[in-house]
Amino acid sequence: MKLISKTQNKVAELLTNSHTSSQLEISGNGSLQHQKNGAEDLLNQFQNVVDNNSFYETAELIFTEILDPKQLAQCAELACKREPGGAFYRAKLWARVSQIIEARREDDSNQLKLSQVCNQVGVGLTRAKGFVAQGQAIINVEEAGVETTILRKASPLLFQYAQRQRTGAKEYLIEAIKFLETNPEATHTQVHRNWCQKNGSIKANLDIIKPSDWWAFSHPKWRQEEDFPGSIPGEVYANALYYFAPQSGIAVDPMAGSGMLKRVYEDRDLWQKDSNFQLKIELFDLHPRRHFIKKHDAREPLPIKADWIFIDPPYYGQSSHLFTDQLACTDSYDSYLRVMKEIITALAESLNPKGRLCIFLPKWSGFRLEDPNHDIPSDVYSMAIACGLNWIDTAYVSRGRQQEPGSATKNNMAKRDRRMRSDTCVLNVFKKGGNDNV
C-alpha cells in the first residue's frame, strides 16, 4: 500500500508538471528534453523497481495517468526489458500511445503522428504498430470484463500470435487465458497449438473451400484424433457439403469413423460463407467408436432416407492395420468389390429423390512390380451408374504422400520401377433421379 501511494504521488506530481510545463511536450527534432521533474522520477522508478508487483502497479498507473505519447512510448520501451510483464505492458502502453494520438488528431489534424513518436524513442513504425495491435487486443479483452492478470507472464511470442489473428486477436487472448488458467506453466507454443486445434491456423481457414476440382490441404484444420488415425482431412467434408449438399435435409455418413463430418458441420461458420446450412447430421458405422455414432452395416439400407450421403470406405489393400471389417481385411480385389456393390446398392436405395451420394476412394497401385493397378473409383463409379444414379461431378484430393516424412525411399522406388504411387483420392458425386448433372 505504501508503494502505491508513493507512486500515486509521483504520478500526481508528473501530471501537475505535464499540464503546466512545456518540458513534457514532445520536441519536434526528436531529442529527449531535459526533464528534471516527476515524469523522470517515474521513469526512473519504472526502470529500477525490482519487485514484480511494484512494477505492475507502476505500469498500471502510467497507463492510466500519463497522457504524453512520448513518455508513454519511453515507458513501453523500458517495460520490455522486464520479465515477467515486459511484453504485456509494452503492448498496452503502445496501444495507449496510439489511442492518445488518435484522440488528439480528431481535434487538430496537424497533431503528432505515431511515426514521430517512433523516431523519438527509436522504434520502427511497423514494429510499433504491431505492439499497438497487441495492446489493443489486451485492452479489448479487459473491456469485455475478462481478467488479464495471467497474461502478464506471457512471452512476447504469445502476443505476436494473437496479433496475427487480426480481428480474432481478442478471442485468441481469451482462449489463451482460459488455457493458462488450467495449464499455468504452458508455453506460448502450447497455447498456440490449443488455439489451432480449436480454430485452425489462419492459412487453413482461408483455404477451406477450393475454387476448382483439385483439393490439396497443406494445413488441415481439423486434426486427426489420437485414437483414430484413419480419418480424412475435415476439409474434404467441408467442400463436399459446400458444393454438393442441400441447405436443409438429412446428411448421413454411414462409415463415420471418427465422426469427422459432425466436427466439420459444427464448425460450418468457418466455411459456409453466405450459405445457411440447416442439415440434420446422422452418423453410422459398423464398429462405432463414438457415443454419437449408431451401429449399422452399410450393406443394409439406412434406417432413414437421406438427402446427402458421404462414404469414405476402408481403402483396398491399405487398411488392414486400421480396421477389422471385410473391406479392410479382404483377401482379393473381387471380394472387395462384392462388398462395395452391396454398399452402393443399399445407399442408392437410401437416398431421397434428388439425393446425392459422394464416394471417396483412391486408385490402388501395389508396391511390387507384379501387383496389378486397380482403378477403384472407376469400378465403383460403374456400380453407382448400374444402381440408376447419375454422375454429377468429380474432385481430386491430394493425399500428400510424396511429401510424407520418410517417403524418399518409396518415391525413389516408384521412379526406378516406373510405377507411380497412388497419391490421390477421387471424390465421385452422384444424384438420384434426373439426368442433368446439377
Ligand X SMILES: C[S@@+](CC[C@H](N)C(=O)[O-])C[C@H]1O[C@@H](n2cnc3c(N)ncnc32)[C@H](O)[C@@H]1O
Binding residues (CB under 6 A) for ligand X: these are 230-232, 254-255, 257-258, 260, 285-287, 297-299, 312-314, 323, 325, 327
Nearer to ligand X by Cβ, of 76 and 240: the residue is: 240
Nearer to ligand X by Cβ, of 61 and 255: the residue is: 255
Which residue's Cβ lies closest to ligand X?
257
Shortest distance, CB of residue 429 to ligand X, whole angstroms?
A: 16
> Are 177 and 148 in contact, with CB atoms under 8 Å apart?
yes
> Rounded CA gap, 88 and 84, in Å?
8
Shortest distance, CB of residue 301 to ligand X, whole angstroms?
A: 12
Angle between helices 38-48 and 52-65 (to 10 degrees): 150
Closest CA to 364 of 352, 349, 379, 354: 379
Shortest distance, CB of residue 47 to ligand X, whole angstroms?
A: 56
Nearer to ligand X by Cβ, of 63 and 284: the residue is: 284
Nearer to ligand X by Cβ, of 86 and 259: the residue is: 259
Nearer to ligand X by Cβ, of 154 and 327: the residue is: 327
Shortest distance, CB of residue 330 to ligand X, whole angstroms?
A: 11
Shortest distance, CB of residue 254 to ligand X, whole angstroms?
A: 6
Place of cell 458444393: 243
Taking the alpha carbons of 292, 295, 299, 303 in that order, is the dihedral positive or negative?
A: negative
- Length of the chain counted residue by residue: 438
Mark residue 317 as left, alpha or beta (left: phi above 0; alpha: psi -120 to 50; beta: remaining). Answer: left
Shortest distance, CB of residue 230 to ligand X, whole angstroms?
A: 4
> Rounded CA gap, 301 and 80, in Å?
65
Whole-angstrom CA distances from 178 to 83, 138, 227 are 22, 14, 25
Shortest distance, CB of residue 98 to ligand X, whole angstroms?
A: 46
Cis preceding linkage at 362, omega within 30: no
Nearer to ligand X by Cβ, of 177 and 240: the residue is: 240
Nearer to ligand X by Cβ, of 307 and 312: the residue is: 312
> Rounded CA gap, 315 and 232, in Å?
12
Long-range contacts of 136-142 (CB under 8 A, 24+ apart): 136/95, 136/98, 136/169, 137/91, 137/162, 137/163, 137/169, 137/170, 137/172, 137/173, 138/88, 138/91, 138/92, 138/95, 138/173, 139/92, 139/95, 140/169, 140/170, 141/170, 141/173, 141/174, 141/177
Nearer to ligand X by Cβ, of 100 and 383: the residue is: 383
> Rounded CA gap, 173 and 186, in Å?
14
Shortest distance, CB of residue 324 to ligand X, whole angstroms?
A: 8
Shortest distance, CB of residue 236 to ligand X, whole angstroms?
A: 8
Nearer to ligand X by Cβ, of 200 and 257: the residue is: 257
